[in-house]
Structure 1
Amino acid sequence: MITVGLTGGIGSGKSTVAKMFEDLSIPIFIADIEAKRLMNSSKIIRRKLIKEFGDNAYTETGLNRPFIASIVFNNKEKLSILNSIVHPKVHQSYNRWLKKHKDEVYTVYEAAIIFELERQNEFDYTILVTADENLKLDRLIKRDNTTKEELQKRMNNQWSDEKKIPLADFVIENDNLNHTKAQVSIINSQLIKKHNS
């Protein structure tokens, strides 16, 4: 089985691309969804987050995402601490998930910060989703109902596309859906070919 890491900056549309692979019957592991689940269900993560971020890290209903976000997107050190608490547990979940899909041609792991965490070598291939900066901002303002300034702060915590492109095996320019779908189809065929050879 081939393992593929799918990544892209905030607003690039990597979730849209992941869905396109899923529509081709490719198993997808979405790190962000698993991280959210674990932050609400793991007692160990909960204890560490409260120790690091204080009692406001959780409310009666679970993780206080706006509170945590307001801290980590303004403080790279705190973001790094958050990642060091959550990512190892997500990785354990991924390894268990991978065993269940060992008979597949290939699987896709979708996460925002594969290159930033130097995790590209854990996958056989990596796919980077890119998009024009203004298009990213437009998508995010509509999606998150937030300001350009807030989004810029979040973008500044991630590497630029220019820095990531040389590290990726495949690059998908997500500028319009038909073009994106065509690129996904080509990469899918290439991965099947690589598996069969």
Structure 2
Amino acid sequence: MKNKPLEIGVTGGIGSGKSLVCKIFSLLGVPVYNSDNRAKWITNNSKKVRRKITNRFGTEAYTAEGLNRDYMAGKVFNDPAQLKILNAIVHPAVGQDYDLWVTSNCQQPYLIKEAALIFEAGSYKRLYKVINVSAPEDLRIRRVLRRDPFRNEKEIKSIIEKQMAEVDRQQRSDYNVFNDEKKMLIPQILDLHEEILSLI
């Protein structure tokens, strides 16, 4: 009898369709931890995190609605040193939150952790397997433009350039799901679900 669920990562570049893939897993009854959503929640709701960010980046870092995303993007987007400082505040808090979530779902066969930066942040080291969601770059850009009307193509390309190259993500992952609107997505997820259950 195993003591804890298998932890499976789902990653992929911006616009690849990670969230759609994770939604299908959740419909199969698999709990999904969305790292980006939880990071946003923690950044806005953890008094400790808010205090550290304000101390480091100034009172303009927050508005009455929460994190001042435009202000913070201006501070860290093109400044790796500042981004490293921000990540050093947020990532440990998200890690603790994830640990609590895993413990609260300990009776499940396996769990999904959705995160864009599984390899870059080193979180792949604790995961049993990693699934990469793949799509052609031009399709990803079109999806993000539809989803985020506040972004432009130049900005999206800049984000893609800062993320791990698609070929590297594919090679480092245990499984690759192709969300290219040519290969059917749901059968790929169903096959993976059965494959992961067979590992338990």
TM-score by length of 1: 0.94
User: Does the aligned pair in 2 maintain the 1:127–1:169 contact within 8 Å?
Assistant: yes
Do the aligned partners of residues 56 and 137 (structure 1) sit closer, same or farther apart at CA in structure 2, a change above 3 Å counting? same
Do the aligned partners of residues 61 and 98 (structure 1) sit closer, same or farther apart at CA in structure 2, a change above 3 Å counting? same
Which residue is 2:153 aligned to?
Answer: 148
Which residue is 1:183 aligned to?
Answer: 188
Gaps of 5+ in 1: none
Q: Secondary structure at the match of 1:104?
A: coil
Q: Secondary structure at the match of 1:121?
A: helix
- Tell me the CA shift for residue 177 of structure 1: 8.1
Of the three residues 19, 35, 39, the one matched with 1:31 is: 35
Name the Cα RMSD after superposition: 1.4
Of the three residues 136, 139, 143, the one matched with 1:139 is: 143
Gaps of 5+ in 2: none
Structure 2 Cα separation of the partners of residues 70 and 10 of structure 1: 19
Of the three residues 38, 44, 50, the one matched with 1:40 is: 44
Q: Secondary structure at the match of 1:77?
A: helix
Kindly, what percent of the aligned residue pairs are identical? 36
User: Does the aligned pair in 2 maintain the 1:31–1:90 contact within 8 Å?
Assistant: yes
- Tell me the CA shift for residue 96 of structure 1: 0.6
Matched, 1:160 2:162: no
- Tell me the CA shift for residue 192 of structure 1: 0.7
What whole-Å deviation, never above 9, does each CA across 1:69-89 have from its counterpart, x for those lacking one?
233222222222222211111
TM-score by length of 2: 0.92
Which residue is 2:177 aligned to?
Answer: 172
**For residue 92 of structure 2, what is the amino acid of its counterpart?**
P
Structure 1 Cα separation of the partners of residues 55 and 159 of structure 2: 24
User: Does the aligned pair in 2 maintain the 1:7–1:128 contact within 8 Å?
Assistant: yes
- Tell me the CA shift for residue 178 of structure 1: 6.6
After superposing on structure 2, the runs of 4+ consecutive aligned residues of structure 1 that deviate more than 6 Å are none
Matched, 1:17 2:43: no
